[in-house]
Amino acid sequence: MAKVSIPTIKLNNGIEFPALGYGTWLGLNDKMEFEITDARKLQDALSYAIDIGYRHIDTAHLYRVEPEVGEVINKKIKDGVVKREDIFVTTKVWHHHHKQADVEVAVRDCLRRLNLEYVDLVLVHWPMSISQEGVDENIDYLETWRGFEEVLKKGLTRSIGVSNFNIEQMKRLLANCNVPPAVNQIEINLNLGQKELVDYCQSKGVVVVAYSPFGTMVPSRNYPDSPEPKMDNPTMLSIAKKHGKTVTQIALRYLYQRGIVSIPKTVTKSRVLENASIFDFQLDDEDVATLAQFDNGFRTIRPLFWQPYENYPFDVVLGQEHEDIPISLLKWKNGVNGDIE
C-alpha cells in the first residue's frame, strides 16, 4: 500500500498540526438536503486515509457524521494502526450553542458522538448566533469565545479556534481574548486568495486552514457563471505537466507554499492518495505568479440566507436579503440513520 508523508506546522500553543487533512463534509444536494447516504463511503475513504498516513481529520456537528468518524478512529486505535495522540481531530460548534454556558454542552455532545475523551481543536463554526428556529440571538462572539476558553481549560480540547471570521472580527477577537485562536478556517482557493485576511492571521500567529481548496474547479462545483480555472484549463494543465502532477495537486501545493493548511474532501481512495502527494515538488516563482492571477474574489460558498443576521462575515449581495434558511441547517439528528442526538 502506498504511503504518504504529511509535514506538520506548529500552532501558537506549540502543538504540531498536520499541513493537510481529510475533510468529512459530505455536502448538500440541489434541494439543500444533506447527503448522508455517502457516510459509509466516507468511512471507507477515511479508513484508507489513516492507513496511508493521514493524521488530521476535520469534522463538525453540522456534518452529521461525527459518530461515523469516531467509529473509524476508534477502530484504528483498537487495531493498533495509530495511537490516539497520533490523530489530530477538529470539530466545530454550530450557531445555536453560542451562549457561553452552551459551548461546553455542545463540545461534550461532540465528544459523545465521536466517542473520544478530547478533541485536538474545536472551532466556532460561524460568527453568527442563530437558534434552531432561525431566530437571530444576537450573541456576541466574544461571549462565545469565553465558553471556548473554558472548555480548553477543562481539557475537553487541546486547541481552540474560529472559522469564517473576517479580518475585522479577527482583530476584535484578538484584542479581547485571554487565549488567542490557533486557527481561522476559511474558504481559500485559486479564485479566492483572501490575501489581506491570510496575511493578517499569519502575522498574528494564527494558522489559516482552507476549506473548498479547489473552489469551482471540480465538476461538482462547476456551474455556468463560475470562473476559471477548471480541470481542463490550459494554464493549469501546462503547470501540472511541467511538474508531473495533476491540476488539483497544483492547486493544493500553491496553498501549501502560502503557508496554508488544506482539508480537501473526497470519498474516492485514489484522490485521497493524490491529494496528499504534494510534498515532493516545488512550484517556482513563475508558477506562483501565474496561479495568483486566477484570484478574482469569487466565493464558492456564499450562504445568502444568513445575510440579515448579526455578525454575517461576508459582503452583502443586494436583493438577496430574505431567503429562508434551509431546514437542514437548523435542525437535525446525527449519524447515517439520523437517530443520534
Is 341 a domain residue? no
48 catalytic per annotation: no
Residue 252, in any domain of the structure? yes
Rounded distance between C-alpha atoms, residue 21 and residue 114, angstroms = 17
71 part of a folded domain: yes
Vertex 334, ends 89 and 325: CA angle to 5°? Answer: 100
DSSP 231: T
**Quick one: cell of 196?**
489581506
- pTM, two decimal places: 0.97
Does the residue 300 lie in any domain? yes
Whether residue 96 is annotated as binding a ligand: the answer is: no
* 27 belongs to a structural domain: yes
Please write the tens of the pLDDT for every residue from 325-341.
Answer: 999 999 999 999 999 99
pLDDT at 90 over 70: yes
Provide the number of structural domains found in the chain.
1
30's CB contacts (< 8 A; 6+ apart) are: none
Cα three-residue angle 252-48-262, rounded to 5 degrees: 20
pLDDT, tens only, 188-245: 999 999 999 999 999 999 999 999 999 999 887 777 788 999 999 999 999 999 999 9
**Catalytically annotated residue among 48, 63, 141, 211:** 63
- Asked, for residue 338, whether it belongs to a domain, the answer is no
**Position 3 in a domain:** no
Domain that holds residue 184: 8-329
Q: 335 in a domain, yes or no?
A: no
pLDDT for residue 266 is more than 90? yes
Q: What is the CATH number of the domain that holds 312?
A: 3.20.20.100
